[in-house]
A and B are shown apart, each in its own frame.
Chain A
Amino acid sequence: MNIQTITQINSFLAAFVLLTAFGMLAQKKINSLIHLFTWQGLFLSINTAIVGYVAGRHHLYISSVLTLALKVILLPYILHLLIARLKIRKDVETIVNIPATMLIGIALVIFSYHLTAPVRELSTFITRSTLAIALATVMIGLLMMITRKHAVTQIIGFLAMENGLFFAATSATYGMPLVVELGVALDVLIAAFIFGMFFFQIHTTFDSLDVDQMARLKEES
């Protein structure tokens, strides 16, 4: 494969990552949301492997496999298990004003394009143009955490943000050192377990995972 084809596949995968990010922003059903998250992880994993191949950084293969195992298999499995246990598989979240959220998302993409312009000028990596998309994915994940009310979707937003960060590291510097990546992967895994426990707690206390309910936590006066 020549460099041009690889650049092309790379930018396609980047575009898909952005697409799944937007899809998650608009998706109301928790079940489909987890599917989208799985797809994003898959695109990310393939992208990492390709970058590893073209840059000759073999540790990226390991992080690619790690991404595959963690974000495509394990985390979606845990999330599915969780929503099955909590009996919220069919839950449909009410999102206020999807088109407006989408417009904010587009604005965020433009903003991150503008923000990464200096890096793009200086960098010589073939992945430099995907940096803007990586940053946009982080921001869209953040936006999702802000706009959603359901605890599970907020966590998926958080995980999508982590995806974006990982993507940014791959495209800006051909990945972080392996030790750091291993550490982050472990952190995410532990975080998922802790979230799971919290969900059970919240669910038993409030009988709902809507975080608005937590306003009831105020002291009686």
Chain B
Amino acid sequence: MAGFIIEILQIALVIGLAPIFAGWVKMLKCWSQGRSSPSILQPYRNLLKLFSKDIILAENASWIFRFTPYLVFGTGVLVSAIIPLLSTDLPLALTADVIVLVSLFAIARFFTALAGMDIGTAFGGMGSSREMMIASISEPAMLMAIFTVSLSCGSTSLSRIVEVIYSPASVIKPSLAFAFIAFVLITLAETGRVPVDNPATHLELTMVHEAMILEYSGRHLALIEWAGMMKLFLFISLGVALFAPVGIAVSTNPAGIPLAFVYLSLKLGFSGIVIVLIETGLAKMRLFRLTEFLGAAFLMATLGMLSFFMLE
């Protein structure tokens, strides 16, 4: 029973706090560029504004176009139920392992790409094709990185992996270090951060994710943007859970939850700083150089897996 309460708490946490995290990253980014920043609560205001607006649908929009925002948001909610953010005692984590997690993200991406092409504008199709190009390399790399972690923990269940890594007996292994580097690169690609895609711009020729959702408006757009923030939040917290699970509540003691929350906020805040440092230090890559970037991620993940077999 306690497990389900934690589960609901966690989902509420992700839905509620994802905009704050997005706001935090944006704030840091403004500071790093010497601009004055919008309030950290600005993403909430944006969402509120979008929710109160009317939807404008294209005449030839099919059900896919209308269905996609809800699906994307729904997969975000599902994923937040299986990543151990506060506690490893998650009933749903037993039903869905880390491969399901990757496929949930893949479903969301698939439908977003379809919706991008659904209206038939040039930008949507361009965005979809780019997104799929990135996905075709970043997804195997992500699976490879996750398999590396699973191998050294002996399980694909996220709760189990976190428990094994968190246990005092675990040590820093080269395979995990490689998997971590790969994961950081993939996170940048999957959440559309700077070397791969620029989240802040609607500049036609460089956008990837924005191009696909260009035709959305009103609450559809709000849901998709919210899901995007959740995706960033979830990827960071997945990385935090896998590679730095300090402070997570392992057993079913409710007393550990507030402490776990404090640790999680600290870790997320710090990850935000790291993301902004990466984004400020790098320029956006040319689209056709992305294969090298993502190839490096794949290479790292593969080296992690190889070094698991060779060195451990």
Contact of B299 with A15 in the complex, beta carbons under 8 Å: no
Residues of B within 8 A of A22 (CB): 299, 303
Residues of A within 8 A of B172 (CB): 8, 12
Q: In this complex, which of A8, A15, A22 has the most chain B Cβ atoms within 10 angstroms of its Cβ?
A: A15
Tell me if B311 counts as interface (CB < 8 A to partner A).
yes
Min distance, Cβ B285 to any Cβ of chain A, angstroms: 14
> CB within 8 A of B292: which of A15, A98, A132, A133?
A98
A-facing residues in B129-169 (Cβ within 8 Å)? none
Contact of B306 with A109 in the complex, beta carbons under 8 Å: yes
Cα–Cα, bound, A145→B171 (Å): 37
A-facing residues in B288-305 (Cβ within 8 Å)? 291-292, 295-296, 299, 302-303
Residues of A within 8 A of B311 (CB): 11, 14-15, 129-130, 133
Main secondary structure of the interface of B (DSSP, over half): helix
> CB within 8 A of A113: which of B291, B302, B306?
B306
Contact of B177 with A12 in the complex, beta carbons under 8 Å: yes
Min distance, Cβ A123 to any Cβ of chain B, angstroms: 14
Q: Kindly supply a per-residue 1/0 record for chain A positions 60-80, scoring 1 wherever the CB is within 8 Å of any chain B CB and 0 otherwise.
A: 000000000000000000000
Contact of A113 with B307 in the complex, beta carbons under 8 Å: no
Q: In this complex, which of B172, B178, B311 has the most chain A Cβ atoms within 10 angstroms of its Cβ?
A: B311
Q: Kindly supply a per-residue 1/0 record for chain B positions 203-215, scoring 1 wherever the CB is within 8 Å of any chain A CB and 0 otherwise.
A: 0000000000000
Contact of A26 with B303 in the complex, beta carbons under 8 Å: no
Interface size class of A (residues with CB under 8 A): 20 to 34
Known: A15-B177, A15-B178, A98-B292. A113 touches B299 (CB 8 A): no
Residues of A within 8 A of B296 (CB): 26
Residues of A within 8 A of B310 (CB): 109, 113, 129-130, 132-133
Tell me if A19 counts as interface (CB < 8 A to partner B).
yes
Tell me if B3 counts as interface (CB < 8 A to partner A).
no
Cα–Cα, bound, A11→B292 (Å): 27
Residues of A within 8 A of B312 (CB): 11, 129
Min distance, Cβ A147 to any Cβ of chain B, angstroms: 15
Tell me if A110 counts as interface (CB < 8 A to partner B).
yes
> CB within 8 A of B291: which of A26, A99, A132?
A99
Tell me if A102 counts as interface (CB < 8 A to partner B).
yes
Tell me if B309 counts as interface (CB < 8 A to partner A).
yes
Min distance, Cβ B260 to any Cβ of chain A, angstroms: 28
Contact of A11 with B307 in the complex, beta carbons under 8 Å: yes
Cα–Cα, bound, A19→B306 (Å): 12
Contact of B295 with A11 in the complex, beta carbons under 8 Å: no
Cα–Cα, bound, A126→B303 (Å): 21
Write the chain A residue with the least CB distance to B292. A98
Contact of B174 with A11 in the complex, beta carbons under 8 Å: yes
Residues of B within 8 A of A15 (CB): 174, 177-178, 303, 307, 311
> CB within 8 A of A99: which of B177, B292, B307, B309?
B292
Cα–Cα, bound, A145→B207 (Å): 39
Cα–Cα, bound, A72→B174 (Å): 23
Residues of B within 8 A of A81 (CB): none
Cα–Cα, bound, A11→B173 (Å): 8
Cα–Cα, bound, A120→B171 (Å): 23
Cα–Cα, bound, A130→B309 (Å): 11
Query: Ordered nearest first, which 7 A-B pairs have the shortest CB separation?
Result: A15-B174, A11-B311, A99-B295, A132-B310, A15-B307, A129-B311, A12-B174
Give 18 new A-B contacts, CB below 8 A, not counting A102-B295, A109-B310.
A8-B172, A11-B173, A14-B311, A15-B177, A15-B311, A18-B307, A19-B178, A19-B303, A26-B292, A106-B299, A106-B303, A106-B306, A113-B310, A129-B310, A129-B311, A130-B310, A132-B310, A133-B311
**22 contacting pairs across A/B (C-beta < 8 A):** A4-B171, A8-B172, A11-B311, A11-B312, A12-B174, A12-B177, A14-B174, A14-B307, A15-B307, A15-B311, A22-B299, A22-B303, A26-B292, A98-B292, A102-B295, A106-B299, A109-B303, A109-B310, A110-B306, A113-B306, A132-B310, A133-B307
Question: Which A residues have a C-beta under 8 Å from some C-beta of B?
Answer: 4, 8, 11-12, 14-15, 18-19, 22, 26, 98-99, 102, 105-106, 109-110, 113, 129-130, 132-133
